[in-house]
């Protein structure tokens, strides 16, 4: 590649970076957040414990995620996919831990299980809920929206066999590309996903 071609490529990359910054209103990376954002558990219908479900204990394993989502940074995704992050803002912990806590709270709110816990808490568990975070971001590839996708597996802890598996996905429009509107939309999408996930768990234990 000649000098002129290299200069042209640098110019295109710079223009793309500037365009992205303008589109996101300042989205990028940050090392010292000014604000930390959490997720609330969705409102779910309580289920009276059945003779079986009321005696079941479920362990919620930490969700797995690729490095782009295994972080406390709040992701913004353009076509490619290309990941960037909101500056001066972060989740209250790494995203998998935030989602793990929200799953536990959602299942507890159903009151349909004898116990729900995390690894190391000493539960005599019947099932493990294993999840993969496939998407949890503000998507800006044409329509500004939150996208949350979770792959879930319910594993019998006594024999290691998968009882059931399913992919849960929700998309919710965001009012703008501001971090507040993005987090609100991601929270709403996560509510939809985890509400469906909790009902699915209860129907399979």
SS3 content of the chain, % helix, strand, coil (to 5): 35, 30, 40
- For the entire predicted model, the pTM comes to 0.81
Task: Give yes or no for a cis peptide into 173 (omega within 30° of 0).
Answer: no
Q: Give me the half-sphere count of Cα atoms (radius 13 Å) on the Cβ side of residue 144.
A: 14
Longest Cα separation, the chain = 75
Confidence (pLDDT) at 44: 72
Task: Look at residue 124 in the predicted model and tell me its pLDDT.
Answer: 82
Structure confidence at residue 188 (pLDDT): 97
Structure tokens at 72: 């406390």
Tell me what pLDDT residue 47 has.
55
Measured distance CA(106)–CA(88) in Å, rounded: 29
Domains parsed from the chain with CATH numbers:
27-204 (3.40.50.10610)
Low-confidence ranges of the chain (pLDDT < 50): 1-30, 48-53
């Amino acid at each position: 590649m000649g000098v002129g071609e290299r200069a042209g490529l640098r110019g295109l990359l710079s223009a793309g970076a500037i365009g992205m910054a303008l589109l996101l209103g300042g989205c990028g990376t940050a090392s010292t957040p000014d604000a930390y954002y959490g997720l609330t558990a969705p409102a779910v219908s309580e289920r009276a414990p059945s003779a079986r479900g009321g005696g079941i204990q479920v362990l919620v394993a930490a969700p797995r995620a690729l490095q782009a989502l295994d972080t406390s940074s709040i992701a913004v995704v353009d076509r490619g996919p290309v990941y960037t992050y909101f500056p001066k803002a972060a989740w209250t912990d790494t995203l998998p831990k935030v989602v793990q806590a929200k799953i536990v709270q959602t299942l507890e709110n159903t009151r349909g299980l004898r116990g729900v816990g995390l690894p190391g808490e000493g539960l005599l568990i019947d099932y493990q809920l294993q999840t993969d975070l496939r998407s949890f971001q503000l998507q800006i590839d044409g329509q500004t929206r939150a996208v949350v996708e979770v792959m879930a597996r319910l594993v019998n802890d006594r024999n290691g066999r998968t009882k059931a598996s399913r992919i849960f996905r929700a998309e919710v429009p965001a009012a703008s590309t501001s971090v507040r509107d993005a987090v609100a939309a991601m929270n709403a999408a996560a509510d939809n996903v985890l509400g469906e996930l909790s009902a699915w768990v209860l129907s399979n234990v």
